[in-house]
Amino acid sequence: MRVLIIGSGGREHALAWAIAFSPLLSKLYCAPGNPGTAELAENVPIRATDIDALVAFADAQKIDLVIPGPEAPLVAGIADAMAAAGIACCGPSAAAAQLEGSKRFTKELADAAGIPTAAWADFADEDDAHDYVEEQGVPIVIKADGLAAGKGVVVAETLDEAHAAISAAMGGAFGAAGELLVIEDFLAGQEISVFALCDGLEALYLGCAADHKRVGDGDIGPNTGGMGAISPPPWADEAAVVMQTIIRPALAEMAARGMPFRGFLFAGVMVTETGPSLIEFNVRFGDPECETLLPLLRSDLLPALVAATDGTLKHVDLRWKSEASATVVMCAKGYPGAYATGSEIFGLEEAGTLPGVMIFHAGTMAEEGSILANGGRVLAVNATGADLEEAIERAYAAVDVIDWADGFCRRDIGRRAV
């Protein structure tokens, strides 16, 4: 099979790594890819959002399967465009991608399908939003309706924080994504991410992880795209309940609406005193959860991805290692705010030789034989081990070998779980 992966981050590196040695694979491309994917595939200099160019390339190269990594091309309709060209694509249509592209769409669908989720309201008028949080009090959650690169959600613990979040979002901090706000009740509990591969009707469980969203140790500071993840978290036994009460009802409701969901479905869930409650859906594999879960996979992933596109997922079974996995994300100083690019990173080869360690490139670039930082989240340092404690210890051992003066990471990934 000739396969094209779309994207340039750690998730895409992990996907390329997982399928690179499949006996079904004859040629692997990544667009645009990164220095990590370049070791496994042929990188193609096409932006992930340049849908016309991606379709033209896939058609010219007789691609058998397209695997979009990030959400932006999915929301923009990459799967529809590939389908129109007769090319299989493991991802949802633009209509189905509203599950991530619109927070309001997801909340309305959850209510219609009987999926447990926090009470909510939506606002297009800023004054009305300010009035609502005054009435509701804090803590409260403010969400930009559209895509905001993982930064459009604020858990406000004071009224000042809530009002500032509303003003920022509706004042243009997230562009058109913040023109509509969803404001919802705060849910207390343990947050988990549950992943499934879907073919429109069937859902195949892909694992459970716990992400660390806030930038600072002890879960302080602003939300990010993800500072690290562990699998399985101690509360992973709730994943089966999530599949039955959240993911499968969502699939059924989407099919009933004439927009069947195919591809990776990511349910962000809060395990509360009364059971799991939906926080959000993402319509792709998470990042850094993808880099955390795929190292635990024993089976060939590629046949499952094909089955998701042709509606035969019920015949697929995946085998997983009985181990644990931990990922620490290394970021450029200043992230998630302003940060500099171009600093050199040393020690990657040595770190990658440590037991159980795999280093996934995210925001990097290669220049004259050197690896330079080229983003906010730059590296995803993963390690597997017999248990979480060993996996975490191995991941930080690798982090400590990496020499990058302009980088930082959280030092408490997974610590609460052990």
The pLDDT-based confidence of 225 (bands split at 50, 70, 90) is confident
pLDDT tens sequence across 359-389? 999 999 999 999 999 999 999 999 999 999 9
**Degrees to nearest 5, angle at CA 154 with 149 and 156:** 175
The CA–CA distances, whole Å, from 301 to 21, 209, 236 equal: 10, 18, 22
Residues 373/343, Cβ–Cβ less than 8 Å: yes
Query: For the residues 392-399, what does the mean pLDDT come to?
Result: 98
Residues 11/34, Cβ–Cβ less than 8 Å: no
What pLDDT is stored for residue 104 in this prediction?
96
Helix (H), strand (E) counts: the chain: 14, 23
More confident site: 418 or 114: 114
The pLDDT-based confidence of 270 (bands split at 50, 70, 90) is very high
The pLDDT-based confidence of 150 (bands split at 50, 70, 90) is low
**Is pTM, for the whole model, over 0.85?**
yes
Q: State yes or no: cis peptide before 68, omega within 30 of 0.
A: no
Widest CA span of the chain, in angstroms?
60
- Residue in 8, 108, 73 with CA at minimum distance from that of residue 361: 8
- 259 HSE (CA, 13 A, CB side): 18
- Residue in 81, 64, 68, 56 with CA at minimum distance from that of residue 31: 68
All structural domains of the chain: 2-89 (3.40.50.20), 125-179 (3.30.1490.20), 188-315 (3.30.470.20), 324-417 (3.90.600.10)
Query: What sign results for the dihedral spanned by CA atoms 41, 42, 48, 51?
Result: negative
Residues 251/201, Cβ–Cβ less than 8 Å: yes
Distance CA 329, CA 211 (A): 11
